[in-house]
Amino acid sequence: MLTMTNMIPVITIDGPSGAGKGTISQLVADQLSWHILDSGSLYRLTALAASWDNASIEDESILENIARELDVAFMPQDQRLRVVLRGKDVGEQIRAEEIGMKASKIAAMTGVRAALLKRQRAFASLPGLVADGRDMGTTVFPDAQLKIFMTASCEERAQRRYNQLKEKGIHANLAALVTDLKVRDEQDANRAVSPLKPADDAIMLDTTEMSIEQVTSKVLELAKQTFG
């Protein structure tokens, strides 16, 4: 039965850093012509705004305020979303490893998570939403009709990240990427509030041996089974 909270179709895709959630969410959302929520970008934007404000990464009440007042717009352009923070296009800037690491740190703060909750839920609108993150299926959209927990081995995730950076002409060190991913996995999985973990009703999808096309088709097949 459809209730008020689950009238909007929602697919949640959670999992550790670098599992391919962002790429797959975008492709699935494109195919279905649904909206997309890249929830990690909100934590990254909070981290970037904090560094612009010279705020201490340890100060929960300041960070909570920054998160609550985040002046951000996601503007459609060429089938993608431009990410604009305080009037500045920061789409590339928020992808830096250093910002990802800071985002993971501040994401452990209860106040920051609470400040971003409503904003994330507001992304759910017809015809549907694909939401990617760590706690989409457990906390933000517990009523989602299709929940996927996407994993891949740490080495494979680091290799994918390395290839992505190389394609952009950015120098990277594979061993350092493996270490960074392990630190972030550890931080994200062991925090007290909304830790990275599969929802009880999530479908586990290990993509280590799968291509982007195979993962996309699998998710679309599951979407078809769920939503018709």
Under rule CB under 6 A, residue 17 binds ligand DC? yes
Site residues for ligand DC, window 119-178 (CB under 6 A)? 133-135
Other beta carbons within 10 Å of 82:
13
**Minimum Å distance from CB 100 to ligand DC?**
5
Please tell me whether the peptide bond between 16 and the residue prior to it is cis, using omega within 30 degrees of 0.
Answer: no
> Which 3 state secondary structure label does DSSP give 90?
coil
Site residues for ligand DC, window 58-97 (CB under 6 A)? none
Per the CB < 8 A criterion, the answer to whether 120 and 42 are in contact is: yes
Under rule CB under 6 A, residue 188 binds ligand DC? yes
In the numeric block, which tokens belong to residue 223? 């979407």
**Minimum Å distance from CB 43 to ligand DC?**
4
Under rule CB under 6 A, residue 16 binds ligand DC? no
- Comparing every residue's Cβ against ligand DC, the nearest one is 40
**Minimum Å distance from CB 102 to ligand DC?**
9
Candidates 1-9, 39-47, 172-180, 201-209; binding stretch for ligand DC (CB under 6 A): 39-47
Q: Pick one of 11, 34, 44, 45: the residue that binds ligand DC (CB under 6 A).
A: 44
Q: Which is nearer to ligand DC, 44 or 147 (CB)?
A: 44
Contacts of 216 (CB under 8 A, 6+ apart): 24, 27, 28, 31
H or E stretch covering 35: strand 35-38
Under rule CB under 6 A, residue 104 binds ligand DC? yes
Sheet of 10-14: strands edge to edge? Answer: 35-38, 129-133, 10-14, 146-151, 203-206
Cα three-residue angle 114-119-122, rounded to 5 degrees:
130
Which residues are near ligand DC by CB under 6 A? 17, 39-40, 43-44, 100, 103-104, 107, 133-135, 184, 188
